Amino acid sequence: MTDHRRAVQPEVPRPPVRAQLDPQRTRRYRLFSAAVLLIGVGVAAAVLFGHVDHPQPEQLLIAGPLLAVGFLLSEQLSIDFDVRQISWTISFAEIPLVLGLVTVPFEVVLAAYLVAGLGVQISRHKMRHLSYHAGIMCLEVAIPYAVFYLLTSDFAAMPVWAAAALGVLTSPLVSTALGLGAMHVLGGELRMPSAARLGLRSLVVCLMNVTVGLVAYVLVNNAPWGWLLAGLLAASMVALYRAYSGLLREQRDLETLSDVSLNVARSGQDVMNKASVLTNVLPPEDPADWQAIVERIRDQLNAKRVVLHLKMDSVDEVRRLVAGVPLPDGSDVDRDDPILQLAGNHVRYFKLSDAADDVQEALRRR
């Protein structure tokens, strides 16, 4: 998070709370999103009409819903993080994608992916990036199918699983390249080594997902009772991904909260210094400054709601500032709240599953 430090001059305009509020960058990003959507729809239409493959009724009624459930599950297990105002996602959608690639036609997988992916985006109220994500999803399905069709037609001796693996490996490369393009449009800066590391990590995760999906496919088709072994493999991978993603989310949140706490402390010092200089003009704390801080915290955490409780030394009360979704009626500040009474100024991360009894009760009330 950028620490906006400035001199004590009331007439100086406040820097924007969120980088997306810059009108020029917003227009550029909208144009970029529209271009991505048009390219994605165009490539999907080219693949659809360039390789005629009529889906069977059982593929539409059985495989389609199963793939949609697989994509939904992969979205729930995905790992989200923010880099320069761009939301990056390490997803496990390659497993249902590669299974669909070797079993059903292109339009079935594309429809299942769009329904699952856009449904998750709408449920998370991420309407601002909907066109961008729709274009990315079209490309993430269309380009692997195009590579798969090309390899199977020109290299007849190549195994189906090898063509499918090479096709799906193009998916993270496309999404990473377009994500870097979106970051450049929004004015972010990511050096080439960092971009290369990000792409390599995405490719490694994709390779593992593709391997798991193809191994399950081969087991089901060739091994006796292979479906049972594939089910055990899927269950173990889900448990592993769940634990891995949970640990990464906690580490990401702790690092972000540490940065936020430093920013709040520095901004609070600025506010108090300004109040000491302009004692006859400003109150002991400027609500506009603190509200801007809370907005930055919510933006950095990508949270639906952030509540900041301020206990000033000169005032015998707790001031509460809310950014995002408003609190329900009757949510009064309780000075005896066990979370507010915690000593120290370091970051704490609480979960209902392992917190103390009084902290669990406070979390439930929230």
Question: What percentage of the chain's residues is helix, strand, coil (to nearest 5)?
Answer: 65, 5, 30
We find that the CATH architecture of domain 19-222 is Orthogonal Bundle (1.10)
Structure tokens at 322: 């809310």
The pLDDT, as a whole number, for residue 208 is 83
pTM of the model: 0.61
The pLDDT, as a whole number, for residue 38 is 94
The pLDDT, as a whole number, for residue 255 is 62
Q: In whole angstroms, give the CA distance from residue 251 to residue 257.
A: 10
Q: Residue 4 burial (CB < 10 Å; 0-12/13-18/19+)?
A: middle
The pLDDT, as a whole number, for residue 154 is 83
Return per-residue pLDDT of the chain as tens, 366 residues. Answer: 333 333 333 333 433 444 444 677 778 888 888 899 999 999 999 998 887 776 677 667 788 888 888 888 887 777 665 544 445 566 778 888 999 898 888 888 999 999 988 888 888 776 777 888 889 999 999 999 999 999 988 888 888 888 998 999 888 888 888 877 877 776 665 566 766 776 677 777 788 888 888 888 888 888 888 888 888 887 887 777 767 666 666 666 666 666 666 665 665 555 555 544 434 433 445 555 677 777 777 776 667 788 877 766 555 666 778 888 887 776 666 667 777 776 666 666 677 777 777 777 877 776
The pLDDT, as a whole number, for residue 290 is 74
The pLDDT, as a whole number, for residue 45 is 92
The pLDDT, as a whole number, for residue 80 is 60
Q: Which residues contact 243 (CB under 8 A, 6 or more apart)?
A: none
Q: In whole angstroms, give the CA distance from residue 110 to residue 105.
A: 9
254: region left, alpha or beta (phi > 0 left; psi from -120 to 50 alpha): alpha
Contacts 24+ apart (CB under 8 A), 205-211: 205/90, 205/92, 205/172, 206/94, 206/168, 206/169, 206/171, 206/172, 207/169, 209/92, 209/93, 209/94, 209/95, 209/98, 210/94, 210/95, 210/98, 210/164, 210/165, 210/168, 210/169, 211/165
The pLDDT, as a whole number, for residue 330 is 64
